[in-house]
Amino acid sequence: MSDTTEQNEAPLEEGEVQISILGQYIKDLSFENPTPAQTIQKLATEKPSMNINVNLNAAQIGEDVYEVDLKITATAVSNDETAFVAELLYSGLFGIKGLPEDQLQPFLMIEAPRQIFPFARRILSDVTRDGGFPPLMLEPIDFAGLYQQQMQQAAAQQGEAPAEDDIVVN
């Protein structure tokens, strides 16, 4: 028997970072179409107003393994009546080794959701189309801007300059 380590388990050189997407999946998907016949007829002449909410959560679930949840809720309203509500909780599983601790939070809240967003976008587009509506095509999301905004809000609540510890990964 030799003392060699398999290639994928080779120790990292100092300062070397290894990041991989281990998987991505739908955790929860909901589409509500309360009055399809009436709504579809109305939408032929009226454009509904859209309300899009995006939430992120990240958690360490194992040694060097993190799960990032991207929750998107889209609500279409026409004349104070709900046309549809689409809710998707889409997750990515990331293997992260060698990333400095001060860079972990920004990676999990900016780069990780940026990697899984196109897949969540496609799912929402398909489900709204399959629900009888035009496909919902979400614009790209500026996760870096959202992260900075969240850091500024946390700092304002504490009355001090933002620190990496202001937002905690669950």
Summarised one tens digit per residue, pLDDT across range 6-51 is 445 555 566 688 999 999 999 999 999 987 777 666 666 678 889 9
pLDDT at 140 (0 to 100): 93
pLDDT (tens digit per residue) in 72-98: 999 998 888 888 999 999 999 999 999
At 55, which helix (H) or strand (E)?
Answer: strand 49-62
Q: Is the pLDDT of residue 150 over 90?
A: no
Domain boundaries, the chain: 18-133
CATH match for 18-133 among 3.40.50.1820, 3.10.420.10, 3.40.50.10470, 3.10.20.30? 3.10.420.10
> What does the DSSP assignment read for 71-122?
EEEEEEEETTEEEEEEEEEEEEEEEEES--HHHHHHIIIIIHHHHHHHHHHH
Q: What is the pLDDT of residues 104-132, one digit of tens each?
A: 999 999 999 999 999 999 999 999 999 88
Mutual orientation of helices 143-158 and 112-130 as an angle, nearest 10°? 110
